Structures are given as structure tokens and as C-alpha cells.
Amino acid sequence: MDPRADIAKAAAALRAGELVILPTETVYGLAADAGDARAVAKVYAAKGRPAFNPLIAHVADIATARRIASFDARAETLAARVWPGPLTLVLPIADEAAVCDLARAGLDTVAVRAPAHPVARALLEAFGGPLVAPSANRSGRPSPTTLAAALEETGAAAAAALDGGPCAIGLESTVIALLDEPRLLRPGAVTRAEVEALIGPLSEAEADARRSPGRLARHYAPDLPLRLNAEAPRAGEVWLGFGPLGGTGFNLSPDGDLAEAAANLFAYLRAADRSQGAAGIAVAPIPHEGLGEAINDRLRRAAGFVG
């Protein structure tokens, strides 16, 4: 089918208050019109997500973002350098109607991001306004990085689904709050070092932790229990390796490449979870540098430890 026809159909569904599964460069999202509270309510229902967890408003470009959020110099710098791309900025809300109260969980702030995936960009342009798009998993489960995984999670709630292939990054966007001092609310695809090189040191998220569902226990979790920093699998465990640490099962990156490991993380967690007769998943240590910070964050939460 002509992809432009798919995009037009999906944009029409969004205008009618329906949900659409959309690919981004990070993970697949479940999109709705950010200004339509009834549509946003369907997103929370499809995910089984507590309504106090706010959503990200996705936009086509910086100009649209400036209309809905108050940009300061730090936001301008980050957006100019990283967008379109896997970085979300939490800023004071400027247009309360464009991103409804329910999408913001009643906060006077809004999370905005301009995604880089060409299909996401085409849909945002065709729709012509901000779209909320949480990861298309049911709440607490690993984020989908393929259309098939997204359909399995929340496909029943979507009126349309766009295929963008496997997600190139595979980990959610980095979330930075720029309300007072810059804070890292969620480590992600853009590393701490990359952000700090542009706007200086990042504080930790303590003060905002309550607001960030990515910071709840048992997030991104498969059904099987996870054992982290394992040297080798024990009897009954499926192995999720990294680099030369061997074992039969899965290897996030045999060459020890963190970008490859990030791209494989959620798909391999899902696959390991389906292993016949397994009692648990043992995961090799991942170096805590660069993208490793975000990978370890997701693994700790998948294992049920709050960071």
C-alpha cells in the first residue's frame, strides 16, 4: 500500500479521536491527539497506566514546541542541537489547550520532543499538532521495538498502526527537566555526557521522582524474574549476555557495543521471557558508561529495583 495513504488514514483516525501505533527512532508509541482528553483517556486505558503519569507531547518541529511550551536558552540550545531526536524536555506549559490537563496529569509543565523517525515526522506533519505517544506497551512491561511487539501489547486499542521497521535506538528518549536547575529525569538514548557538554552539569531527579513513571519499581518488566550482573546462568535461567561473557541464550552485543545492546534490549527481554521452561533470566554486567547508564536503568527497573 502507498505509505502516504497509510499516513493520511492514520491522521484522519487521530482527528476522529482514535489511537494510532506509530514508530519512532526510540520505541513504538501509542499516539493520540494531545488536545483531546477523551482520546488521551483511551491511551491510559489501553496501557493500564495510572493517570498521574504524564505523557510526552510529540511535535513536528521546534516552532510547534515553542507554541506549547516556554523555551529558555537551555531549551533552545538542546533543541537546536539534538532535535529531531531522542531527547524530551520538560518545560512550563504555554498552551494548556494544545496538551490537555489529562495528558499532563494536571501539572503546569509539559514534556515535549520532536522525534527523528521519518514515519513519525510524516504523521506529525499530516496531523498538524502535538500528539501524545507513550511507549505502546501495557504499563510496567518492556517497551515495543517492533510493530509486532506493539500490536501484541496495545494493538487492540488502535484504529491504525504504521510500520517503521525495527527501532534503530531501542531505548526511550532521555528526559531532562528545565524548570530550575537542569535535572535528568530519565536516562535514555542521548547520554548524560552529551547533554552536559551542551548545558552544563545535570542534577539528579529526586525532587521530581514522583512525577516520573519511568522511576517506579517494576517498570519495563518481563514476566520472568531478572538476575542482574550475573557471571553465568544458573540451572533453569535463560542467559542474556553482553560481549565475550558466553553462555547459550541471547547476547545483547557479542562485540560489547552499547548502541547494539540498547537496540536489542527490549526485543531480547521479550524473547527470553518466552523461553520454554525457564525459571528466570540472568543478565551479564553492562558497563555503566555512555548508553550503559540508560540500559542499566531499564534493567534495574525490569528487575524491580527502584533507582
Is 6 a residue that touches ligand TXA (CB under 6 A)? no
Which segments of the chain does DSSP mark as H helices, in order? 3-15, 37-47, 62-68, 73-82, 118-127, 147-154, 192-199, 258-273, 292-302
Q: Least CB distance from residue 99 to ligand TXA, whole Å?
A: 9
Is 26 a residue that touches ligand TXA (CB under 6 A)? yes
Question: Minimal CA–CA distance to 131: which of 19, 213, 25?
Answer: 19
Q: Rounded to 5, what percent of the chain is helix, strand, coil? A: 35, 15, 50
Is 90 a residue that touches ligand TXA (CB under 6 A)? yes
Is 212 a residue that touches ligand TXA (CB under 6 A)? yes
Is 191 a residue that touches ligand TXA (CB under 6 A)? no
Residue number with CB closer to ligand TXA (56 or 238): 56
DSSP reduced 3-state for 72: coil
Residue number with CB closer to Mg ion (54 or 249): 54
Q: Taking CA 276 as the corner, what is the angle to CA 270 and CA 279, rounded to the nearest 5 degrees?
A: 80
Is 65 a residue that touches ligand TXA (CB under 6 A)? no
Question: Minimal CA–CA distance to 38: which of 58, 55, 24, 18?
Answer: 18
Residue number with CB closer to ligand TXA (101 or 260): 101
Is 219 a residue that touches ligand TXA (CB under 6 A)? no
Is 253 a residue that touches ligand TXA (CB under 6 A)? no
- Considering only 40, 82, 119, 133, the residue that binds ligand TXA (CB under 6 A) is 133
Q: Residues of 128-140 as b/e, b for ≥16 C-beta within 10 angstroms?
A: ebbbbbbbbbbbb
Residues at the site binding ligand TXA, with contacts judged by CB under 6 A: 24, 26-27, 29, 53-56, 86, 88, 90, 104, 107, 109-111, 115, 133-135, 172-173, 175, 177, 185-186, 208, 211-214
State the residues that interact with Mg ion by CB under 5 A.
135
